[in-house]
Amino acid sequence: MNNGFFQKKKIAIQKIKNKINFFESKKAYLEDAQCLYYPTFTDSIGLFNIYKFSETKINRLSFFIKILKNIFSGIYFSNSKIIQNLNKNSFSNIIITWANLSNFKYDGSLDDRFFNMNSRKSKNTLWIVIYSDKDLPKKINKNILIYKNVKTKINFTKFIIFLITKIFNYKNFILFIHSISNFSFFGGNFFNDIKIYLKPEVKNIFFPFEYQPFQNKIIHYVKEKKFKTKIIGYIHAPPLSFPSNYIYRKISPDELILNGEDQLHCFTKHLNWPKKIIKVRPSTRFLNDNSISMKNKIYFPMTIRDELKVIDSFKKIIDSSRYDITNMKIQKHPFSAKEQKVVNFENKLKNILKSEKKKKKQNTKNLSIFIGSTGAIVEALERGVNVIQICEFPVLDVYSSIFWKNIIVKQIHNNVFTYRLKKKGKLIKLGKLEKNKKLYGYKL
């Protein structure tokens, strides 16, 4: 195993910490630092900095173009619409979540996939739903507010004013370039549209938490106004191979919910979270359900960044005498499944699998292959699936036992790795099937 990958991870995480600390240490920059966002799953200035800090080689001109695309794609967030305005003042709690049409029931309630809770069981709670489908539910309960971006109607003026305002307001280039990302544009619009519901009488606000700019703006506003509202963040995603977007900062939830002891270790030792504000609870998103199968599949990421490297890795797996992957089903990421680039790659891969010569190889029905960086690897391991990962950028993509103590990594080719767990339930403690009536002990 190439331990250089692990050391570069640690160094890159530390450099991101230093960057965040630098801006948060200066009072003039503290509020603007909420725009700093370092995800590994989307092409943005945050990912560019991750590549830079981890010494990952990329085509800088090509990535600069991707950053521009990220910025100008913000225009699709320029025409937001609140489907149901609610004037009721007696909501004790707010849950801010994501959903689509399939998450709504015929009675107008929401079955939330992150908290495993139905909105009808929380009548004193306002559900603010960031909605992703074109068609709306036929019925919407009175404690649900749907926030929808109308991408077919673009407000050019609003977007241009946003850019011009940022140019004049930001004197630091790093903060400026983060502040004009599509995440920041969405965050500003969303916050301004729902701010009227952030009232002093709200006792608790819950997020499936990612440190996205819109979440940071809400936390900053509540704390600046000195409301007594408690903010609870739930880390809904499985443990990530490079958890850079979870580094602790001054603008943070009052309480954080994690789903495993390994997560507690990583968040306190490597991401600077105070142990006293963390609770470890079974997952409300990933449930102990035998009907869920992650076997015998090839999982695509949201974006495939290096097709040649991925194809070469597949050929190495095929040419080995160990694995039979001819009958595996391709599972595309739901957010990019219809993109032409993804469809073209799927067809290339299918042709390669068809051309594989039939050889006697070991039974691989309990095996799945994952491309790139994805937390689904950990979920599959917790469900007893054998895992192969094809890495596009190993420094970022491969899991490390430095961060996640119970994972064992083995490198079988340049960009191909296998995993197993020392003990199940340490990375994710799978939750129960029944719908929650309370959320982490809080009455809703």
pLDDT in tens, 165-199: 999 888 899 999 999 999 999 999 999 999 999 99
Residues 322-333, mean pLDDT to the nearest whole number: 85
Tell me how far apart the alpha carbons of residues 430 and 137 are, in angstroms, rounded to a whole number.
30
Within this chain, do residues 127 and 263 fall inside the same structural domain, yes or no?
A: no
Q: How do residues 18-74 score in pLDDT, each as one tens digit?
A: 999 999 999 889 889 999 999 988 889 999 999 999 988 888 898 999 999 999 999
Number of domains in the chain: 3
Within this chain, do residues 306 and 325 fall inside the same structural domain, yes or no?
A: yes
Residue whose C-alpha is closest to residue 402's, from 301, 271, 285: 271
Within this chain, do residues 314 and 414 fall inside the same structural domain, yes or no?
A: yes
- pLDDT of 9 higher than 80: yes
User: Is residue 200 one of the residues assigned to a domain?
Assistant: yes
pLDDT of residue 385: 94
User: Is residue 383 one of the residues assigned to a domain?
Assistant: yes
User: Is residue 431 one of the residues assigned to a domain?
Assistant: no
Angle at 93 between CA 91 and CA 97, to 5 degrees: 115
Within this chain, do residues 74 and 200 fall inside the same structural domain, yes or no?
A: yes
Within this chain, do residues 47 and 184 fall inside the same structural domain, yes or no?
A: yes
Q: Are strands 204-208 and 93-99 parallel, antiparallel or unpaired?
A: parallel
Q: Which residues pair with 299 in a beta bridge?
A: 331, 370
Q: Cβ atoms within 10 A of the Cβ of 272, count?
A: 16
Give 152 or 97, the one with higher predicted confidence: 97
Within this chain, do residues 247 and 320 fall inside the same structural domain, yes or no?
A: no
425: left (phi over 0), alpha (psi -120 to 50) or beta: left
3-class SS shares of the chain: helix, strand, coil, % to 5: 35, 20, 45
Last residue in a domain, options 117, 149, 181: 149
Q: What is the mean pLDDT of the chain?
A: 91
Within this chain, do residues 272 and 304 fall inside the same structural domain, yes or no?
A: no
* 373 CB-near residues (< 8 Å, 6+ apart): 40, 41, 240, 241, 242, 301, 391, 392, 393, 396, 397
Tell me how far apart the alpha carbons of residues 326 and 296 are, in angstroms, rounded to a whole number.
10
Which stretch of 47-51, 130-134, 276-280, 325-329 has the lowest confidence by average pLDDT? 325-329
Distinct helix (H) and strand (E) counts, the chain: 13, 16
User: Is residue 434 one of the residues assigned to a domain?
Assistant: no
pLDDT of residue 357: 60
Within this chain, do residues 366 and 262 fall inside the same structural domain, yes or no?
A: no
Q: How do residues 420-429 score in pLDDT, each as one tens digit?
A: 999 999 999 9
Parent domain of 403: 297-421
Within this chain, do residues 203 and 98 fall inside the same structural domain, yes or no?
A: no
User: Is residue 128 one of the residues assigned to a domain?
Assistant: yes
Within this chain, do residues 171 and 248 fall inside the same structural domain, yes or no?
A: yes
User: Is residue 159 one of the residues assigned to a domain?
Assistant: yes
User: Is residue 441 one of the residues assigned to a domain?
Assistant: no
Q: Provide the percentage of residues in the chain whose pLDDT is more than 90.
A: 68
User: Is residue 442 one of the residues assigned to a domain?
Assistant: no
Q: Provide the percentage of residues in the chain whose pLDDT is more than 70.
A: 96
Within this chain, do residues 50 and 22 fall inside the same structural domain, yes or no?
A: yes
Within this chain, do residues 175 and 206 fall inside the same structural domain, yes or no?
A: yes
Per-residue confidence band for 286, with pLDDT thresholds at 50, 70 and 90: very high
